Amino acid sequence: MGLISNKIHRGNLQPGDHIYSFRKWKSYSHHGIFVESDKVIHYTKTRKEEPANKLRRRPACKKCGFDRKVHRGVVISCLDCFLSGYELYRFDYEVPYHHFLFKRSGTCSTGSCDDPAAVISRATALLNSQDGFGDYNLLENNCECFAIYCKTGKHMSEQACSAKLTIRAVAQAILDQNSGRLLEDVRVHDPDNYMNLKEKIDKLIPLPLNEIIAILGKLNENEEDVEELETMEK
């Protein structure tokens, strides 16, 4: 377990390890389960995508036969195909809370994992299943979800959770800033309505962004709609 980095040499891998590799600019990572010697079971996009330039299409791996344009869903490949030229890391389980707080999302969990035999059994069963791991979804059903499920029998994605929280935080920051701008604008141009609007915005801030937009839109409508809104708030 490393506080700074989970980087690991391939010679130190153990069957059943949850491994991952950061991709371009470390903007995301690809996850899988190391099963034996040089083999990794991992989950890829299930929908076929035509290459933008067919001349640049990579041939199938001479070592394991893996072809990323043909093999989809739950696949097995050599470690080199899994890494695709990037560095190797091992996902940590049962990390203490203070450790978790300082780690990047998608690199560790406070939860416990099952024994290697159970992990490999789950991964192999999904590999051999006709349905695999279902349809790929970047936020709800991705390679990290697959690896965590194989390790724990539970479904979640740290990367997806982090992305959702980031989007929410950015939206909230924009809302906070722009609500301040709105209030200042109304204070100057419509001072009689300033306090009324401020009270409403203070009540709205905890609500989801789409609800806030809908309610503020109603404030620009006629008095009947405003009265209806006030009744709803009660």
Q: What are phi and psi of 18, to 5 degrees?
A: -90, 115
Number of other CB atoms surrounding residue 225 within 10 Å:
13
Q: Which of 48, 39, 4, 3 is nearest to 19 (CA)?
A: 39
Candidates 30, 64, 81, 108; catalytic one? 30
Six-digit token string for 132 = 């695999």
Number of other CB atoms surrounding residue 77 within 10 Å:
24
Residue 30: active-site member: yes
The residues facing 90 across adjacent strands are 19
Please tell me the distance from the alpha carbon of residue 232 to that of residue 44, in angstroms, as a whole number.
46
The residues facing 10 across adjacent strands are none
DSSP, res 109: -
Inter-residue contact 147 to 31 (CB < 8 Å): yes
Candidates 42, 108, 113, 150; catalytic one? 42
Candidates 81, 113, 143, 150; catalytic one? 143
Please tell me the distance from the alpha carbon of residue 20 to that of residue 144, in angstroms, as a whole number.
9
Six-digit token string for 139 = 């936020």
Inter-residue contact 226 to 215 (CB < 8 Å): no
Q: Which of 155, 157, 135 is nearest to 20 (CA)?
A: 157
Task: Assign 43 to helix, strand or coil.
Answer: strand
The catalytic residue positions are 30, 42, 143
